[in-house]
Amino acid sequence: MGSLFDEIKKLSGGSYPFHMPGHKREALGNGAFFEALYGVDLTEITGSDDLHKPEGIIKEAMDRAAALYGSGDTFFLINGSTAGILAGISAALDPGKSLLMMRGSHMSAYHAAVLRHLKVNYIYGEIGTVSGAAMGVNSDEVESALERYPETGAVFITSPTYEGYSSDLRTIADAVHKRNIPLIVDAAHGAHFGFSPLFPESAVQAGADIVIMSLHKTLPSLTQTALLHLNGNLVPKERIQKYLTVYQSSSPSYILMAAIDECVRLVSEMKESDWDDFINRRREMSKKLSGLKHIRIEDHFSFGDISPKAKIPEPGKMIVMPENRRDGVSLAKYLRSRYRIESELAVPAYLLLILTICDSEKNFEILCDALQRADEEYTEWMTDKEAVPAGSRKLQVEPAVMEMWEAFDAKGEPVEGEQALGRISASFVTVYPPGRPAVVPGERISREALEEIKNAGAAGCEIRGHLSAIVE
């Protein structure tokens, strides 16, 4: 094998990425910037400012990002949204306080709860009846949970979800603010929201107090680049800065910070017609795919041109479901081997594709042709002759019997299969992507969790963590 650079050049060449990062390996307007990377790889020298005490060029760049999104303050994240989620939760809650969060949150939110010794209660949200994909939460569920857990000190919501579904954040923000506590939103997949009427409004516009966005997921920026937006006065700015210093590198990359500023500049200069062009190409592609016989497309346009506030995916996501709901991974392999198309996510029930403004018209044409051909050649790549419907997915769990952080720090022992059933977990076990834990420390390991891990592993998904049970 060659150098890492040589190997990733090979992997990058000739494939069609319907996954993150959002720049889709297209330079767009920042070609000169990408050509000059080594030459601008600086550190803290005279005049270069300091991410951990921004007063000069970095502060000016962060102010430009705040102006674009309409936030009170914006902070650059060079350790991804993970750093922002860790810092946001840490700043909002003192150790031992209570956090109300979506069960399907990213691992970084759980890690924040462990590190801060937080008491965690859950809201579960909805599951798509056809796709089985995670949808948002509604304000009634949040209101009910806040009444049930009056000790709540902050609320953490993921919107949009990994699959592109949004929650009614305005109504949720109102319910949370009635109790004078902050709303934290993981909007990692929503950095492009608010720039077109067909996209939902951004979490910043909706009134959330802390919003974390990954620029690299859906916009033209480098991997690991993200933003943390702060609004209102429920969480002091100084606390955000304090914890960002804890969770971000003391030697931040100027290349990543410059990539953030370049992304902000590009988006600021984009016209409404640029977004309209993307929307129109997406609509046309979905129209062409509406006649497939063995593959179902679930995206914004398959529901018709209705309000983005409805429970439909945003235009940047496409869920592709084979007739046989065991064939999602097989379809991904077919698209990769025949057309060099890489999906963002492949699970037995469906594929998830990410489409951004950086996707060329050629990319859209290749994807459309590939899915039409896959539909015609369905019998060649299907794995079972008998169609299997989607199984019901359950997010509800039994209440924890130990605090998450106590179980995480407790002595555990490896367990497998049936011997794990009913034991108190001492570890996280997570299916990647998207990074939502199937097993959480402090909870009894359920049969549903074991089945989820087993099925995901059999389908070729990455399993992070190992089953471990508290030694009793």
Mean pLDDT, each 10-residue run in order, the chain (472 residues): 51 59 55 64 78 92 96 97 98 98 93 97 79 80 96 97 92 97 98 92 97 96 96 97 97 88 92 92 93 92 62 90 86 92 87 92 93 93 62 59 93 90 92 82 90 79 88 84
Q: How many CB atoms lie within 10 A of CB 119?
A: 19
| Coil, strand or helix at 442 | coil
Looking up tokens 């330079």 gives 27
Its pTM stands at 0.90
Q: What number of H helices and E strands is found in the chain?
A: 17, 18
Is position 386 within any domain? no
Q: Are residues 440 and 314 in the same domain?
A: no
We report the CATH number of the domain holding residue 313 as 3.90.1150.10
Q: Are residues 217 and 255 in the same domain?
A: yes
Domain count of the fold of the chain: 3
Q: Are residues 208 and 77 in the same domain?
A: yes
Cα angle vertex 90, ends 85, 92, to 5°?
100
Q: Are residues 317 and 446 in the same domain?
A: no
Q: Are residues 91 and 237 in the same domain?
A: yes
Given 269, 299, 321, the domain boundary residue is: 269
User: Cα separation of 409 and 411, whole Å?
Assistant: 7
Q: Are residues 92 and 112 in the same domain?
A: yes
Q: Are residues 408 and 293 in the same domain?
A: no
Is position 453 within any domain? yes
Q: Are residues 49 and 169 in the same domain?
A: yes
Longest dimension (CA), the chain: 68
Q: Are residues 122 and 138 in the same domain?
A: yes
Is position 397 within any domain? no
User: Cα separation of 395 and 467, whole Å?
Assistant: 19
Given 234, 269, 304, the domain boundary residue is: 269
Looking up tokens 């350790």 gives 79
Q: Are residues 322 and 459 in the same domain?
A: no
Q: Are residues 171 and 218 in the same domain?
A: yes
We report the CATH number of the domain holding residue 162 as 3.40.640.10
pLDDT of residue 332: 92
H or E element in which residue 341 lies: strand 341-343
Is position 4 within any domain? no
Give the helix ranges, DSSP H, for 70-219: 80-92, 107-115, 139-148, 169-177, 203-206, 215-218
Is position 291 within any domain? yes
* Domain span holding position 421: 404-470
Cβ(375)–Cβ(335) below 8 Å: no
Question: Which amino acid type is present at position 30?
Answer: N
DSSP state of 198: T
Which tokens in the block code for residue 293? Answer: 């016989």
pLDDT in tens, 160-180: 999 999 999 999 999 999 999
Which tokens in the block code for residue 18? Answer: 């319907």
Is position 29 within any domain? no
Is position 391 within any domain? no
pLDDT of residue 7: 55
Q: State CA 365 to chain mean position distance.
A: 26
pLDDT of residue 325: 77
Which tokens in the block code for residue 343? Answer: 């999906």
pLDDT in tens, 31-64: 666 666 666 677 777 788 899 999 988 999 999 9
- Residue 327 class from Cβ within 10 Å (0-12 exposed, 13-18 middle, 19+ buried)? buried
pLDDT of residue 398: 60
Query: Exposed e or buried b for every residue in 375-389, given b needs 16+ CB within 10 A?
Result: beebeebbeeeeeee
We report the CATH number of the domain holding residue 440 as 3.90.105.10
User: Cα separation of 250 and 244, whole Å?
Assistant: 10
Given 248, 269, 290, the domain boundary residue is: 269
Report CA-CA distances (Å) from 43 to 39, 178, 252, 388. Answer: 12, 44, 8, 56
Q: How many CB atoms lie within 10 A of CB 63?
A: 13
Is position 23 within any domain? no
Q: Are residues 319 and 458 in the same domain?
A: no
User: Cα separation of 121 and 400, whole Å?
Assistant: 9
Which tokens in the block code for residue 195? Answer: 């720039």
